[in-house]
Amino acid sequence: LAKTTQPISMDSYEGQEVNITCSHNNIATNDYITWYQQFPSQGPRFIIQGYKTKVTNEVASLFIPADRKSSTLSLPRVSLSDTAVYYCLVGPPGYSSASKIIFGSGTRLSIRP
Amino acid sequence: DVKVTQSSRYLVKRTGEKVFLECVQDMDHENMFWYRQDPGLGLRLIYFSYDVKMKEKGDIPEGYSVSREKKERFSLILESASTNQTSMYLCASSPQSGSSYEQYFGPGTRLTVT
């Protein structure tokens, strides 16, 4: 599966838009890009998934350029409760790839008042 | 909402004990997973099951075994607990249709082996 690289940590302030970028230079044609959020002492929570261009839901937007070698998770108007670790995963759908999922160390996002 | 529950939030066991961690999901998902999470190492997959009585090893299966006798329940067994198995253990499930990357996690069990 494609290896991903994302910043170890980021800081921002309440009300700002936060963009977390993930690099995945070896992404394969049938790979999807998925982001998870994890709060302290909880399991990760699925945020958003996409294949190309832009995906938006009630929580975030995911921007994927045409070459798909990177992706950006965008959190609009963050609040203190968005302080968490964010993981970027890349891989093909289907249960056959489930055992190869790699979460990595993620990006630790800290939001300040 | 999908609900994944784990039998304990905190557990303290002694070295050499046999430890059972239970996970139950209520959404009829085919896939179930056990991970451990350690500081600086992220989440690492221990075992994965895609059907009842079926299992596959993940990245770090040594010292662990699993059991899936019913679709909704996936158990992780530490045959003889050791101090290096002190960790946060997370169970997850996902449907087999669609992307297996959309996993639903339980709250975790923080296991301490003394």
Could you report the per-residue pLDDT of B55-94, keeping only the tens digit for each?
999 889 999 999 999 999 999 999 999 999 999 999 999 8
The predicted structure's pLDDT at residue A15 = 96
pLDDT at A97 over 70: no
Q: Among A87-96, B10-19, B82-91, B105-114, which is the least confidently predicted range?
A: A87-96
CB contact under 8 A, A99 and B98: no
Tell me what the mean pLDDT of segment B2-20 comes to: 94
CA distance B92 to B88: 13
CA distance B103 to B94: 5
Provide the 8-state DSSP code for A30. Answer: T
Question: Coil, strand or helix: which one is B85?
Answer: helix
* Six-digit token string for A91: 């891989």
Of B45, B96, B106, the CB nearest to A43: B106
pLDDT-based confidence at residue A95 (cuts at 50, 70, 90):
low
Nearest residue of chain A to residue B31 (CA atoms): A95
The predicted structure's pLDDT at residue B72 = 97
Q: Which of A99, A100, A105, A108 to mutate to test the interface with B (most CBs of B within 10 A)?
A: A99
Tell me what the mean pLDDT of segment A70-89 comes to: 95
Tell me what the mean pLDDT of segment A79-90 comes to: 94
Provide φ and ψ at A52, rounded to 5°.
-155, 170
CB contact under 8 A, A105 and B90: no
CB contact under 8 A, B42 and A103: yes
CB contact under 8 A, A87 and B106: no
pLDDT-based confidence at residue B100 (cuts at 50, 70, 90):
low
CA distance B46 to B65: 9
Query: Would the CA dihedral through B52, A96, A45, B59 be positive or negative?
Result: positive
The predicted structure's pLDDT at residue A105 = 78
